[in-house]
Amino acid sequence: MKRAESRLSELSVQVNRAGWVEDNFITDDTEALSADAQDQATAVTTELVEQAARFEGLKMPPDLARKFMLLRLSLTAPAPKDPALRKEMTKVSTSLEADYGKGKYCRKPDDCLDITAIERIMGSSHDPSELKDLWAGWNQVGAPMRDRYVRFVQLSNQGAREIGFRDTGAMWRSGYDMTPDEFSAEIERLWQQVRPLYLSLHTFVRARLSQHYGRDVVPPDGPIPADLLGNPWAQEWGNIYPLLGMPAKSSGYDLTELLKAKPVDPRGMVKYAENFFVSMGFPPLPQTFWERSLFTKPADRDVVCHASAWDIDNQDDLRIKVCLQVRDVDFVTVHHELGHNMYQRAYEKQPFLFENGANDGFHEAIGDSIALAITPEYLQKVGLLAQLPSADADIPQLLKQALDRVAFLPFGFTIDQWRWKVFSGEIQPADYNQAWWDLRLKYQGIAPPMARSERDFDPGAKYHIAANVPYVRYFLAYILEFQFYRALCHEAGYTGPLNRCTFFGSKEAGAKFEKMLEMGQSKPWPDALEVLTGQRQMDASAILEYFAPLQKWLDEQNKGQKVGW
């Protein structure tokens, strides 16, 4: 196992370096170099998993047994043993991600928009014909991926079966210290906890959009059209806040305006995020972080703009790759990404196979629990906000947050509900697109703005599908971040309404936080959760407590409206 971990660590650095260059300089050559590095790492990992099979059933010390389990689960896309098939799978998977990164919609020959430009326009436009056009234009990026995605599923499933799993989806769900079926049930339990809050929000938003666009565009008793919710995927709805009829400046401040008035540039936004962690006792980021990270989209080339945090050498070469704009949502994003970096550094002394989050939801939740503490009190402490808004601004602020965090919840596990069923064969290639929209209707209450067919492959227009990144982690993160946040507030000695807490500057909260982070994946996640929260079960009661004032207000606004679709 020591030899295996040493080899895997070396290969991971090669993969990280090649992946960093590919994402930052998208060419056929960098794509090929990244594919070669991934192929080599996949081959070695697959071989090690095969060698490990001879120890199955052997009684081992818990730490060693855990390493063997994590080794089996370490491939997001397990490849077939056959070298030719393995190479084919690597080529297919890198081409899907590159297609997404190079994707553009050309409204005219001289007016081609990448996803960053499309997101920006859809975030501010309230013209339904323009939104529908952009939505349809971006979703075209998925259609050419369809046949390759079918092949990718076949090859990945073959690889998963060869190392003892039913399919790739079952393998993904095995990484949570419970069986795949127990994990599916756990996700459904958490969703049922938060579903009433989501329904209250959906009902309110639909009514206000129906008033704004008209009943013929947004029926007041049906699903919401997917192009009208502020971004290409209808995954977070914060951009439509101005359409919801709240009084002007009712939230007391506009963070985007505060950042621009300061003025703060993208690098300065990253500095604010770093300072939050430093205020809690975490050491500053290394100088190489500032020299090697990408903060803004280069003018001269395509890059994969999807925000990501990197630990290139599993030690101190920490970086982020983001295409920041000076706006509130990116201020939150950069806190999230630095959360990954702080976690990566906290567990750097763990053995290689334990250098990860306690479960993948933990990794996503770390920075977001910090982002929740970006309250008016915090903004005042760091000199961005001169005067605290009055208490009656709480509802507008909570509504803004719910439009992102609560609206996201069903989207957060629908992506993987679809993939689990694709991998298991319950959804066949002939029904990929129909099944996608059936699930989004069932859980999110949204529908495409125009007829879709199986000539389309709308899942491919979402980065995590094209890049084969498991997604349910984000759903878990949105539950866990509130659980972490409540625990950190208690540790900092805060006793008021949960939604007003900030623990900026609390060394006590920071020490408790770091104690959990440095465990990495060395113990089952309930052990790590208990260190910070005292609980051993993921629990949505914290998110419900946080948004309780809003839900009461929403239910009053929704009287007489049909709830659901």
Q: Which amino acid is at 316?
A: D
Is 274 designated active site? no
Which residues of 239-363 form beta strands (DSSP E)? Answer: 308-311, 318-321
CA within 13 Å, CB half, 244: 26
CA dihedral sign, ordered 117, 120, 125, 130 = positive
252: which strand partners? none
| From 274, 364, 491, 514, active-site residue | 364
Catalytic residue flag (residue 363): no
Active site residue 340: yes
Catalytic residue among 97, 337, 491, 514: 337
3-state secondary structure 398-452: HHHHHHHHHHHHHHHHHHHHHHHHHHHCCCCHHHHHHHHHHHHHHHHCEECCCCC
Residue type, 162: E
**Residue 191 contacts residue 410 (beta carbons within 8 Å):** yes
Task: Tell me which H or E stretch contains 145.
Answer: none
Q: Which of 202, 306, 335, 363 is catalytic?
A: 306
Given 253, 474, 485, 546, the catalytic residue: 474
* Catalytic, out of 340, 447, 491, 540: 340
d(CA 169, CA 157): 8
Q: Which of 32, 117, 136, 307 is the catalytic position?
A: 307
**Known catalytic membership, residue 65:** no
Q: Judge whether 212 counts as a catalytic residue.
A: no
* Distance of alpha carbon 38 from alpha carbon 314, whole angstroms: 17
- Catalytic status, residue 490: no
- Check if 364 is active-site: yes
Amino acid, res. 487: A
H/E segment holding residue 108: strand 105-108
Residues 87, 94: Cα–Cα separation, whole Å: 11
**In the annotation, is 474 catalytic?**
yes
- Which one of the listed residues 31, 336, 355, 540 is annotated catalytic? 336
Residue 563, both tokens: 């709830």
Q: What positions carry a catalytic annotation?
A: 306-307, 336-337, 340, 364, 464, 474
